[in-house]
Amino acid sequence: MKRVSDILASKGNEIWSVTPDTTVFDALQLMADKRIGAVLVIDKGQLVGLFSERDYARKIILVGKSSKNTPVRDIMSSKLVCVQPDQWTGECMGLMTEHRIRHLPVTTGEDLHGIITIGDVVKAIIAEKEEEIEHLQHYITGSV
């Protein structure tokens, strides 16, 4: 089974972030430029939230706010579920399912290591299952 650190090792641990004072419009522009669905919100070196496309859709568009005049702090998700590098992908899938979230910041204490997505976790789990199937096929056919 793979760990969060394995996912970060394969995808990289590049972190895209904004400050709480960044406008929603500018955060969306960054997300579009980087082709990502969320950015971390960092204030004075501390992780304070996460801003996602879902936040935009539900808290700007549907309530008639302006993305050019609204700071990220007003609509970001601040109650974050984080994981540690040594956690298993199955645990991450459980957390994402339980909390109905798509992004997990990876932290150790105050240190931020990166972020993983539901897509990263699904990809890792599929790869694990394919390896298991291949191993079982070799075992069954005697071609270990």
- For the chain, the C-alpha Rg in angstroms (whole number) is 18
CA distance 117 to 22: 23
Give me the CATH topology for the region 4-141.
CBS-domain (3.10.580)
C-beta neighbour count of 55 within 10 angstroms: 19
> Which are the contacts of 49, defined by CB distance < 8 A and separation ≥ 6?
20, 40, 41, 72, 73, 76, 77, 78, 80
For the four alpha carbons of 21, 25, 28 and 30, in that order, the dihedral sign comes to: negative
**Can you tell me which residue has the tokens 């992780």?**
47
For the four alpha carbons of 12, 22, 70 and 72, in that order, the dihedral sign comes to: positive
Provide the 3-class DSSP secondary structure of residue 103. Answer: strand
Residues of the chain with pLDDT under 50: none
* pTM given for the model: 0.88
Determine the pLDDT at residue 144: 58
The domain limits of the chain are 4-141
CA distance 94 to 25: 32
**Can you tell me which residue has the tokens 């204030």?**
43
Determine the pLDDT at residue 131: 84
CA distance 72 to 2: 33
Give residue-wise pLDDT tens across range 11-31: 988 999 999 999 999 999 999
Determine the pLDDT at residue 76: 96
